[in-house]
Structure formats: structure tokens, C-alpha cells
Structure 1
Amino acid sequence: MADPSSPPLVVPSLPWRFSTRTTDIDLASAQGAETYYPLRMGVLGRAQRFMMSIDAMQLGAVLVGDCRFDADISMDFEELRDFYHVNIPLSGHLISTNLGNEVIATPQHAVVFGPTGSVRLNHWDAGSRILCVKIGRVALEAELERLLQRPVRTPINLAPALDLSGGYGRILRDLACLLARQVAAETPLARQEIIGVPLWHNMLSHLLAAGEHDYRDELLGPGRPCRPPAVKRVVEAMHAAPETPFTAASLADLAGVSIRTLQAAFRTYVNMAPMAYLRNVRLERVHAELAASPPTRTTVTEVAHRWGFTHLGRFAAAYGRKYGVPPSETLWS
């Protein structure tokens, strides 16, 4: 077994998605360092065997790894510098320390690290399954500025513990699980820009909404209604190119207002949220394409995915509410 104080090995560049299994702690340290950050890994106690399992996907500024060890381990990292990090246990627990804060992460509470201060994973319990989420610092800080429509002081001082039991934290957990499941998919939906871009942006915005920090009250506070021309710009853009991977942030940028302000304006002038309006526009395009397509040359699934619908059950329900028939009936009529 390698000396845990020895420097990590160097391995080739990380692919956009990968799975790895190893019983060699040197290779485990090397893969951990390549996937995440320079680290020192050690086995706690007198474990009879060691195995590391990682299934990971990089999507935009976010990397999610589904990580497991079959021995109790510890890890030490230097400052993350260019990244923020969230560990989301799906089972088991993890005890870690950063900036003097010790946090016990469980399926009800994640632990969050900022880009400053060394990180120690004091005890990763054997058998624990943890989603390790690595987030580009530039992207998260830019997302906050887009949401607030003004510059912010960086780094963002995120609280070290994050509640996963409900609200924004539960949604963040679900988004991380969705991305982790894409690793094994033969044709990952997240690879499609219209799906992948909103997915990783949503992970950033839900982290900012779920975590405690200096800007959270402002971020979640009510916005001032904007004038109709801003709404008109957004509506026209949606109709002109609904296949564009719009996010709430990019629509607010287009309108020149904050997300909260745009949402308030849409409620006032359109009577629905911006993303709900976009979903309706995309449903119209799906309907038109299904009605015009030979059923022997396309499928409902292909058309739905092309217009950004990832969950076929929810898509079919929304289509049925709007048109009164299932999408397959439109295709075969």
C-alpha cells in the first residue's frame, strides 16, 4: 500500500464521461487527482481490501461523480482555488473540515467547500455512496452576477452545510442524480445542447438558491415588474428560435433585467413564467412537426428530444393537456 503522504500520480486528461474501478490505492489517488484536485488519500484502520468506484460526467462547468469506496478512507486537498465543490451523500456519511468548520454530511445534509482554505475529508465511511460535484468558480460567480444583474464580491461565501431535505436543496440533489445516471446511458440526453446547457445552469442556480450566503436574500427577494418591451423581446426570441438552449438567466440577459424581475413581468403581462411560456412554444413546434412527419421516418421520442423534452411521461402529459390527444395520435393521424 502506498504512503499516503506521497504526491499524487499524473494520469491522462479526463474524458467527458467515464467509469473506473480499481483496487490499487495509487491508481485511485491518481484518478481522484485527475478528476478533481491534487490530493493525498489514505485508508483508515486495518482494512482487508480496498476498492474505489467512480462514474462521472462533465457537463459544461459542472462535473458530477458517483463515488464509492469499500474501505474507510481519508483525503487531504490544498485550496480548490478555481472551483466550488459539493458532496451529496446518497447513503452513509462523510466527516470533513474546511476553514475550521467540521461538517457531517448525510443524505439529509450536503457539505459545501469554497475555493479558499485546505480541505480534509476526515472519514469517508466505507460503503457510502456520495455524489461529488465539482463546479467551475468562474461559472458559479458569473451565474450569481447574471441572476442579480450586478457585480458581486468574490469568492461567494457559501455556508459549509446545505439542507437536502426539501426546497432548492432537494432539487439540486435530484439534478445531480439525473446527471449521474447519464453516465451509463447509451445516448446521454445531456449531451444535446438544448438539454445539457439548461441542466448545468439549473444546478448552479439551485445551489445559489439553496445555500446560505451574503446574496441569498437579495437573490430570492421579489423583483420589480419590467416594462412590456422587455417581455416582448424575450417572447420574440423564443418564437424565433425555440430550439435555443435558453435558461432563465439567458432570457433575463436578453431582457436586460434580473430573473426575478422578468418572472414578475411575465406573471403580469403573460400570466405564466418565462420557462412555462417557452415550453408551450416548444410544444407547438412538436405538434407541427409530428403532424407533418411520415410516421415511418420519425418517432415521438426523437421529436420530443429535438425540442428539449427529456422526461417523456411529463412531455406526453403536457401535450395531452394542450391538444387533447397523445402525441402518437398526432404522428399517426
Structure 2
Amino acid sequence: MTAAQVAAGLSGVSRHVLAASGDPDEVRDACTEALRPHRLVLQRQARLATRLEHLPAGPISLNRLRYGAEVTVAPAVPEEDNFLVIFPVAGSARFTYGRDIADVSPGHPAIVGPYREFRFDIDSAFDQLILRMDRRWVESAARRIRGAAGPVDLSLSLPEPPPFLYRLLDSVVSLPTLGPGGRPEVGQQLGELVIESFLLAQLPSEPEPARVPSVQVRRAMEYLLAHLAEPIAMTDVAAHCGASLRSVQAGFRRDLDVTPGQWLREQRLDRAHRLLSAGEPGQTTVTEVAAECGFFHLGEFAAHFRARFGVTPSSVLGAR
């Protein structure tokens, strides 16, 4: 899974905010509504051919934006209320955030926070997937992960994110396929999970925490099993246990030699196998079982199921 694949999927399901507009005021207003307030300056008397696509999911939104012209984007307010993670799909741009400067292009993402001034100098071929994350949710999740409050000030240039983050974003793109409205409660939970997963991959590691009593690990396991069908934020698990997230992770590694996420996936797969084995073909579907077990991306569910059991979910249901 890549940024280009997520962006391509978004084009099929997004709520179009703006399509192929050449009006600078219309472009600026639409991008302000979807992303953040800004000033838009056209370079070399360029003519816009802008396309903006937008899909909200709780505290985040996914956006695909191409101006189709050389432009400069600059702030319109002193402080922003969001973080923008930019995954370039084509072309190139130069981003400035405070004193940091980065050349961004496919394979070289960037993040712009809410704390300092920014400037984007964008070429006419620049096509980008933008993850917009609500500032309040980001700072709250970072506080739960680190155990202390403070700005989430990351370097402008980002390493290529781990594949699981793209899979999570692809799950967000799949939300509209769940039915009318895309199940807002699932969108909210997935949005929170995207923020948490992004921060866990980006925030610096802390020293190994103190030993977590096994009783807290058992409490975490009970919580995970009780919420098996839902997108689960691991910070919620830690809060339920009265421990930091790093401590809960260390407890799982020590007691079970797996991460909480790995243990949860195994439990979900085991429940899915039981439900498929007991299901009646024609009355039970693989899609229903996957959703009931907390898998919202059918392809990912099938791949994990086959890796664990050596057969496909449909073959288990068909054997019944």
C-alpha cells in the first residue's frame, strides 16, 4: 500500500469539495474549509486547474489536492488548529515551517504543525494526499502516550511511514462502502486510531518503563476482548488499566512476547474462525463476520486469516 494507491481510492469515494476550478477565490475558500486558512499567490501569471477531494472521519480528514499551477501558500492566521501530514503523489514542492526547509516529492512526506509560520512553494505537477489531524486530538493522544503535556513538535521532514499506516488510511477510504453515511461512529474510532498510530511511529522512544504487574496485563486483555468488534485505541486500554501506554506494551512483551496489537489481532482471527465454522452458507457472509470481529478492510482480513489458518475465510464457511 502506498500514498498513490490511497489517493487513487479516495478519488472514487470522496465528498468533492471542489472539482477542476480555475477561480483563485473559489480555490482558496474551498481549501480553507477543508484544510486551514491561508493566502494563495499564483506565480508567473499561472492559471489554476485545481481539483480538491475531501473525506472526513471524526478528528481527521483525508484530502487529495492538485493546484495544476505554480502557487505559493502562506498562513492567514497566527496559529492553526490542525496538523497537516503531506504525502506527495507526483511533482515536487518546497515547504518552509519556522526555520525548517524541506524539498518534498514522492517518498519524502512532511508534516506542518500549528505552532509556527509555514510557506509552500508548489510546482504545477504537484499532487498530494493530505492527512489533516485535529490539533486537540493530537495533543491529547500525545499526552496519553508520553505521560506529559506539551507541544507535538515534529521535524518538518518525515521518514516514509510504516505500511500499516497506509493500510489504516485505506480503511478510512473504505468507510463509505459500509453504507449510507459511512457509519460515523466507526469513522470517529478509525480517525482516533490513525492519530494514535501516527504518533506511536513518530514520537521518540522513551526509556524502558518500570515492570507492569501481570494483573494490569490481564485487565488489558479483558478490555480488548470486550471491545473486539470495535476499532480500539491502545491509549484507551492503558487508561482502563491505570498505566501508561509504554508500560502496557512492555507488560505484553514481557508476559506474552507479543505487542497488544498482535495479541488483539490473534483473538479477532480466532473468533472469526469460530463464527465462520459455525455459520450457515447463504445466511452468514465473510464480510459480516469480518466486521463483527473488528476487521474493516476485507482484503487485509483475508490475508491475515490465510496466514494464520492456511485457508481462506470463504473456504471455512463453505465447508460448513
Please report the TM-score for the alignment, with normalisation by the length of structure 2.
0.83
Q: Which residue of 2 aligns with 1:288?
A: 274
Contact conserved, 1:64 with 1:176, CA < 8 A, in 2?
no
Q: Which residue of 2 aligns with 1:100?
A: 99
Q: Once the two structures are aligned, what percentage of the paired residues are identical?
A: 25
Deviation of the 1:31 alpha carbon: 0.4
Give the SS at the match of 1:81: coil
**In structure 2, what is the Cα distance between the partners aligned to 1:106 and 1:244?**
35
- Choose from 159, 162, 165 the match for 2:158: 162
- Choose from 179, 196, 203 the match for 1:205: 196
Unaligned runs of at least 5 residues, structure 2: 1-12
Q: Which residue of 1 aligns with 2:148?
A: 151
* Gap change, CA 1:72 and 1:207, over 3 Å in 2: same
Q: Which residue of 1 aligns with 2:291?
A: 305
* Gap change, CA 1:222 and 1:297, over 3 Å in 2: same
Alignment of 1:84-233 (within 5 A): 84-121=83-120, 123-148=121-146, 150-153=147-150, 155-164=151-160, 169-171=161-163, 174-175=166-167, 178=170, 181-182=173-174, 186-187=177-178, 191-192=182-183, 196=187, 199-211=190-202, 216-218=204-206, 221-233=207-219
Give the SS at the match of 2:95: strand
Contact conserved, 1:131 with 1:176, CA < 8 A, in 2?
no
* Gap change, CA 1:84 and 1:262, over 3 Å in 2: same
Contact conserved, 1:223 with 1:264, CA < 8 A, in 2?
yes
**In structure 2, what is the Cα distance between the partners aligned to 1:285 and 1:190?**
28
- Superposition RMSD on alpha carbons, in Å? 2.9
Q: Which residue of 2 aligns with 1:6?
A: none
- Number of matched pairs: 304
Deviation of the 1:65 alpha carbon: 0.7
Contact conserved, 2:58 with 2:184, CA < 8 A, in 1?
no
Contact conserved, 2:229 with 2:291, CA < 8 A, in 1?
no
Contact conserved, 1:65 with 1:131, CA < 8 A, in 2?
yes
Q: Which residue of 1 aligns with 2:59?
A: 61
* Gap change, CA 1:179 and 1:71, over 3 Å in 2: farther
Post-superposition Cα deviations, 1:234-289, rounded to whole Å, max 9, x if no partner, equal 11223333123222222222222222221221122223221222122222322232
- Higher mean alpha-carbon deviation, 294-303 vs 169-178, is at 169-178
Deviation of the 1:227 alpha carbon: 0.4
* Gap change, CA 1:129 and 1:62, over 3 Å in 2: same
**In structure 1, what is the Cα distance between the partners aligned to 2:68 and 2:252?**
51
Give the SS at the match of 1:160: coil
Q: Which residue of 2 aligns with 1:71?
A: 69
* Gap change, CA 1:60 and 1:36, over 3 Å in 2: same
**In structure 2, what is the Cα distance between the partners aligned to 1:140 and 1:30?**
25
Please report the TM-score for the alignment, with normalisation by the length of structure 1.
0.80
* Gap change, CA 1:243 and 1:311, over 3 Å in 2: closer
